[in-house]
Chains A and B, each alone.
Chain A
Amino acid sequence: MRYLKLYGHFVATSFMGEMMYRRGFWLSVLARVAWFLFFVAFYSLLYGQITQIATWGYWDTMLLLATFFLLETILYLLFIKNFSNLPHMIADGDLDLWLIKPVDAQFVLSLRHTSFTSFLNLLPPLFLLVLAFIKLGLSFSWASLGMILAAFVIALIIAYSIWLMIMTLAFWLGRVDVLHEAFLSLFRFLQFPTVIYSGAVLLFLTYVLPIIFIVTIPLASLRGSLTWPNFLLGLSLAVLLFIVSRLFWLFAIRYYSSASS
C-alpha cells in the first residue's frame, strides 16, 4: 500500500518534469510513430513481393509487429529512464542515497521515472493489433480478454527480469553508458517472425536467455491457443525469472562498496 502511494508520487513528479519540454514531447512521439510506420511499410512492401515468410502470412506478421511495439512502448514507458541511468548512479555513487532510505532500492531504481512521452505511442500499435485481430478472424470474448491481459503482464515480467539482470552487471562493468541497449537490441530480435529462428539461435532464445516467450505467450493468447498448462508454465517462468533477478540484484548490492565515499 505504501509502495502504491509512493509510485503515485513518482508518476506525478515525472509528469511535471516532462511537461517542461513540450516541444521535445511532440518530436519524441513523432520519432517513435515514424519508426513504427516504417516497419509496417517494410513488411507491406516485402509482402507485396512474397506471400509468406515460412508459414507466416501478412496479418500474422502484423499481429506480431503490433504486439512487439506495444510491449516495447510499455517497457519504454515504465523503465527506460530508470535503467539507462543506473550505470551512472552506480559509477558516481548516487546509489548510496537510495540504499539508506527506508524503501526497497530495486523498487525505486526501477520505477522512479515514467516516460509519459511514450503514452501516445501506445495508440498506433494498439490500433494495428485490433486490425490484425479482426483480419485474422480471431474470436473474442471477455474471458479471453482476461487471458490476453494476463499474458501481456507475464511477458512484461519476463522482459523486466531479464533487463534487470543485464543492468545489474553494471555493478561489475563500471560505467557502461549503453548497457541498457544490450537488452533492447536482443529484444528487437522479436520484431521479426519468430519462425525465422532455428537451431542454436532458437535454443539460445528459448533456454539460455528466454526472451522469445516475451512475444510467443501474448501471441498465443491473442490466437486463443494458449492452453492452461502453457499459461501456468509461462507464469512459473515469469515468477522464477523475477526471483532470480531479485536475488542477483541483492547479491550485487551486497558486493557494492560505493564509489569515492
Chain B
Amino acid sequence: MAKYLAVFKVGLLNAFAYRFTIVFFLVMHFLALAVIFFLWLAIFNSPGQAEIAGYSLASIVTYYLGASIVRQAIASHFEYQMASEILRGKLSIYLLKPFSYLFYQMIRSWTWQLLSLILSLALYLAAIILLRDYIIVPSLVQAALFLLALIPGAIIYALVSAIFGTLTFWLLDPNNLFGLKETIIVFLSGFLLPLAFFPPVLQDVFFYLPFRYLISFPVEIFLGRLSGTAIWQGFLVELAWIPLLAIFLSWFWQKGVRHYEAVGS
C-alpha cells in the first residue's frame, strides 16, 4: 500500500508541474459546455416547447452540467502515456520494479483526475450559481447513490483505457484508435445527448453495455429519473463488467508483455 501512496505523491507533483496545461484544458472544457447550453436554451426558447423526450430545460441543464462533472471525475486517458512508454522501450524499467505497472498508471491517472476536479470546482461553482434557476437539487439518497455510482464508473473507464493502452504492443501508431474509443464513449455514454433521445430498442441494448454506466447512469440517478429497480439492476450490470474487463485485461496484458520487444533498450 505504501508504495502506491508514493505513486500518488509523485502523480500529484507531476500534475502540479503541468498546472497550466490543466487550466488550459479546463477552459476548453467549459467553452464546450457553454456551447451546449446555448444550443438548448435556443431549443427551449421556441414557443410551446416545455418538455423534450421527458426533459425540461432545468433537467437538461442539470444533466449536461452533471455529465461534465462526471466525465471530469472518472475519465482516464493514461493510454497515451502507456503507448509512449511501450513504444520507446521505457516500459522495461517499470517491469523490473516490484509493483504492477497497470496499477501504477491507474493511480497516477486518478491523482491527476482528482487534482483537475479540485481545480475546476471553483468554475463549476460559478456555473451552478450562474445557472441556479435551472439546477435541480436531488434528495440526499439520490446524491449518495450518484456518488456511489461514480466509483465503478471510474474503474470501468480505467480498465478500458488500460485495454486500449495494451493494444500498443501490436500497433505502431495507436493514437487514432484512442481517439476513436473516446468518440464512441462520448456518444454511447449519453455525454453528447441524453439516452432518452435514442430509439427504445437501442436503450434496451445500452442497458447491458458498459458505456451508459460511465455518464448517463449516475446523472440520471442524480436527476431522479430512475426507479429503485432500475437503479439496483443498473448497479448489478455495472459491477458485473468490472471482473469481466479486469480478467480480459490481465490476460491481454500478459500476452502483450510476451510480445514486447523493448525497442532501444
Contacts and interface: CB of A to CB of B under 8 A. Distances in A.
Interface of A: 21, 23-24, 27-28, 30-31, 34-35, 38, 41-42, 45-46, 48-50, 52-54, 176-178, 181-182, 185-186, 188-189, 192-193, 195-197, 201
A2 B64 CA distance: 52
B43 A53 contact: yes
B46 A52 contact: yes
A24 to B, nearest CB: 4
A23 B41 CA distance: 43
Contacts of B41: 196
Nearest to B177: A27
- For the residues of B in contact with A, the DSSP-based class is helix
Given A23-B173, A181-B28, A185-B32, A53 B39 contact: yes
16 contacts: A24-B171, A24-B173, A27-B176, A27-B177, A30-B176, A31-B179, A42-B187, A46-B43, A49-B52, A50-B52, A53-B39, A54-B45, A177-B21, A178-B24, A185-B28, A193-B39
Interface string B173-185: 1001101100110
A140 to B, nearest CB: 30
B49 interface: yes
Interface string B159-176: 000000000000111001
Contacts of B183: 31, 34-35, 38
A176 to B, nearest CB: 7
Given A23-B173, A31-B177, A50-B49, A45 B197 contact: yes
Given A31-B183, A181-B28, A192 B43 contact: no
B52 A45 contact: no
Nearest to B186: A38
Given A27-B180, A31-B180, A182 B193 contact: no
